[in-house]
Amino acid sequence: MSYQKQYQASVEQPDVFWQEQAQKIHWFKQPSNILSKDENGVDRWYANGELNTAYLALDHHVLNGRGDQTALIYDSPVTGNKAQYTYSELTEAVAHFAGVLAAQGVEKGDRVIVYMPMIPEAAIAMLACARIGAIHSVVFGGFAPHELAVRIDDAEPKVVVSASCGIEVDRIIEYKPILDEAIELAESKPSRCVILQRPEKTCELTAGRDLDWQQAVADAKPADCVSVRSTDPLYVLYTSGTTGKPKGVVRDNGGHAVAMNYSMEVVYDMHPGDVFWAASDVGWVVGHSYIVYGPLIRGCTTVFYEGKPVRTPDAGAFWRVCEEYKVKGIFAAPTAFRAIRKEDPECELAKQYDLSALKTVFMAGERLDPPTYDWVDQHIQRPIVDHWWQTETGWAIAGNHMGLEPTAPKAGSVTRPSPGYNVQILDSRGNPVEAGEQGSIAIKLPLPPGCLPTIWHNHERFEAGYLNTYPGYYVSGDGGMLDEDGYLFVLGRTDDIINVAGHRLSTGEMEEVVAGHEAVAECAVIGQSSDLKGEEPLGLVLLKDGIDIDEEQLKKELVQRVRDNIGAVASFKNAVVVQRLPKTRSGKILRKVLRNIANNEEYVAPSTIDDPACLTEIEGTLSDKGLR
Ligand code: COA
Ligand code: AMP
């Protein structure tokens, strides 16, 4: 079927379209109710169907003759380790770890937090939860104790699964002290922690609370897959919102499984037996969808890479992995390619490897800037797919569908909406705009399978944040336009979320941390463009009256505060003291204008501004510091 036909069918008769897709996966109980409303009036997929996601990802393939195929390849330049698991081996490991969780009283619907580095045990823990119907919540390893504590308090896990350490290039990150501090800070205390001891740095277990992973697995009886309802949550994944409190994006089992299978085929053109490598981290949505669930549900081989695009050991790492495992599709954030380009501008290292298996390069997570696109295009000479999506949707809202009539790309465009996503550009009153005009990118309801149905324990936040702005639509938080040919251009967030090295961060959250410093009266944190990371945060700080503090010292303290409270991953490295912050007459800080100033963009001072002279003052301060 052509893209156009499939897209039309998906938006005109979504239930018929997605019923057909649902038939491609194995259900314990086939759904007859394809699209219905839940008690909150939210569209739900396959409400009366039953299945098990871990069964689909593992047992199903073993039963269908794929037991000896490699399911997961672990490649860790930071430790020098490599390992491979066949579908049979991974199924067994998961069943045993599911037994460990079950022995600790974890049951269907209970939450388990997974705080782990990029090691296969992270996937094993996730799939083990899915196997027994528990809900996992993976927390990215780069977050500080406070962030972990916030997630523990929101998810209220019965068990936390972690490891003794992670490794950042050549630096050991001890996880155990972070975990201990987080549990100390949290009000909700998990009853057990299961800790994997890594030989690079073991840790002391807390008596009465911690179990040793190896020991627990040796003692465990394997647990079977349980049948869960399609609408039962598979996981909660926290993502940055505009306030300090992260949002727990809920993913259901049934819609997600269908969407994973569909997107692996249609977006990525991946088929059973193909090798797919998403060079991300299990702590992000890319890791959930396309390191763990998508490739495994589809019967592919997934690559688990514990390393960086550069420095582990060099800028040839991506190409080495592609050659070694015959990777057919690689998916990474543009920032990773910018890092490679910076160290190997002529891409000499790629020439040392046989990339003949590589068919497509996929990028997402942040805007793909034209110089990066051109560089990869020139040196790798493969189709490059820029596709746009979010933690909330779990799979591509738009892209160039490699498994469904790929089309000629256009510079700066994420190509066309994916089947299932009725993408519309709306003006400020919620009316669709003409082709070529900019507006808010919204998706007409229903959202397709796989997208979030709610925010964990906070349905009001889901409605307020996504559904109430334009009734009948999901609002993405990104601005953009559709051109006359139906190509979508994503022009950036319309809220206070920034994207640093492909990591989504809330400037509001950083502001809360910076404002907590005793010398700070008020502050604004904005995103400033960065050649390597896309954006980096910059803090503009107003001191309390009478405070006399050395600016360099203050900056150091603020940088440390953000590292301690949010984590190194925030990349908060710059803070400047200003005399005033531009505000509206009603006292709202004009962050958009500040962004314009910091990024040397043209701007018009809004008519509501209290004191326009403040803007020239800020321009001067930033110029004096070499920050614009
Ligand atoms: N655990 C602990 N610390 C971590 C971490 C983790 N899992 N991940 C990152 N950090 C730390 C880094 O060590 C760094 O610390 P530092 O400030 O002390 O040096 C800090 O957080 C910032 O990390 P990052 O922004 O990743 O910068 P980097 O210089 O280490 O690496 C890139 C730069 C471009 C190579 C890297 O960001 C990258 O590969 N990005 C791809 C992002 C991605 O996969 N996004 C997912 C969406 S597709
Ligand atoms: P996350 O939820 O972390 O995946 O971040 C989602 C946000 O990243 C989106 O709302 C966009 O702002 C941005 N983003 C993701 N992919 C792209 C892309 N291909 N082009 C531009 N922005 C993107």
What average pLDDT does the structure give for the chain?
Answer: 97
Which residue spans of the chain are classified as CATH 3.30.300.30? Answer: 497-624
**Which atom of ligand 2 lies closest to the CA of 493?**
12
pLDDT at 606: 87
Peptide bond before residue 446 is cis, with ω within 30 degrees of 0? yes
Pocket test for ligand 1, best of 335, 389, 390 (most atoms within 8 A of CB): 335
Tokens 């306030």, located at residue: 243
pLDDT at 607: 85
Give the number of other CB atoms < 10 A from CB of residue 502: 20
CATH topology of domain 497-624: GMP Synthetase; Chain A, domain 3 (3.30.300)
Give the number of other CB atoms < 10 A from CB of residue 437: 12
Atom 1 in ligand 2: residue holding the nearest Cα: 390
DSSP 290: I
Q: Does 234 score more than 80 pLDDT?
A: yes
**Which atom of ligand 1 lies closest to the CA of 278?**
48
And the tokens for 69? 């195929």
Residue 586: band (very low, low, confident or very high) from pLDDT cuts 50, 70, 90 = confident
192-196/210-212 β-pairing? parallel
Residue 583: band (very low, low, confident or very high) from pLDDT cuts 50, 70, 90 = very high
* Exposure of 226 in the CB half-sphere (CA atoms within 13 A): 19
Rg for the chain, CA atoms, rounded: 24
Which residue spans of the chain are classified as CATH 3.40.50.12780? Answer: 3-307+387-462
pLDDT digits (tens, 9 = 90+) for 299-352: 999 999 999 999 999 999 999 999 999 999 999 999 999 999 999 999 999 999
Predicted TM-score of the model (pTM): 0.96
550-586 b/e (C-beta count within 10 Å ≥ 16 → b)? eeeebbebbbebbbebbbebbbbebbbbbeebbbeee
Q: Does 618 score more than 90 pLDDT?
A: yes
Handedness of CA 24, 27, 32, 38 (dihedral sign): negative
Establish whether residue 379 lines the binding site of ligand 1, counting it when its CB lies within 6 angstroms of any ligand atom: no
CA of 118 relative to ligand 2 center, distance in Å: 22
Distance CA 315, CA 319 (A): 9
Cα dihedral 29/30/34/36 (nearest 10): -20
pLDDT at 244: 77
Atom 32 in ligand 1: residue holding the nearest Cα: 336
476 with 491: CB under 8 angstroms? no
CA of 569 relative to ligand 1 center, distance in Å: 6
pLDDT digits (tens, 9 = 90+) for 503-554: 999 999 999 999 999 999 999 999 999 999 999 999 999 999 999 999 999 9
Distance CA 203, CA 178 (A): 12
Q: Three-class SS of residue 305?
A: strand
pLDDT digits (tens, 9 = 90+) for 183-227: 999 999 999 999 999 999 999 999 999 999 999 999 999 999 999
**Which atom of ligand 1 lies closest to the CA of 280?**
44
Residue 15: band (very low, low, confident or very high) from pLDDT cuts 50, 70, 90 = very high
Q: Going along 483-519, which residue ranges are E strands?
A: 488-493, 497-500, 503-506
pLDDT at 139: 98
As a whole-number percent, the residues of the chain with pLDDT over 90 amount to 96
pLDDT digits (tens, 9 = 90+) for 409-434: 999 999 999 999 999 999 999 999 99
pLDDT digits (tens, 9 = 90+) for 92-114: 999 999 999 999 999 999 999 99
Distance CA 198, CA 157 (A): 23
Q: Three-class SS of residue 262?
A: helix
Residue 19: band (very low, low, confident or very high) from pLDDT cuts 50, 70, 90 = very high
113 with 190: CB under 8 angstroms? yes
CA of 169 relative to ligand 1 center, distance in Å: 10
Q: Three-class SS of residue 427?
A: coil
CATH topology of domain 3-307+387-462: Rossmann fold (3.40.50)
The answer for 109, left when phi > 0, alpha when psi is -120 to 50, beta otherwise, is left
Residue 241: band (very low, low, confident or very high) from pLDDT cuts 50, 70, 90 = confident
Angle between the N-to-C axes of helices 591-598 and 613-624, in degrees from 0 to 180, rounded to the nearest 10: 40
Enumerate the β-bridge partners of residue 331: 278, 362
Ligand 2 pocket by Cβ (under 6 Å): 239, 285, 364-368, 386-391, 414, 477-478, 490, 493, 499, 504
Establish whether residue 138 lines the binding site of ligand 1, counting it when its CB lies within 6 angstroms of any ligand atom: no
pLDDT digits (tens, 9 = 90+) for 490-500: 999 988 899 99
Residue 148: band (very low, low, confident or very high) from pLDDT cuts 50, 70, 90 = very high
- Give the number of whichever ligand sits closest to the CA of residue 537: 1
Amino acid in the structure at residue 23: Q
Residue 42: band (very low, low, confident or very high) from pLDDT cuts 50, 70, 90 = very high
Q: Going along 312-456, which residue ranges are E strands?
A: 329-332, 360-363, 384-386, 398-399, 416-417, 422-426, 439-444
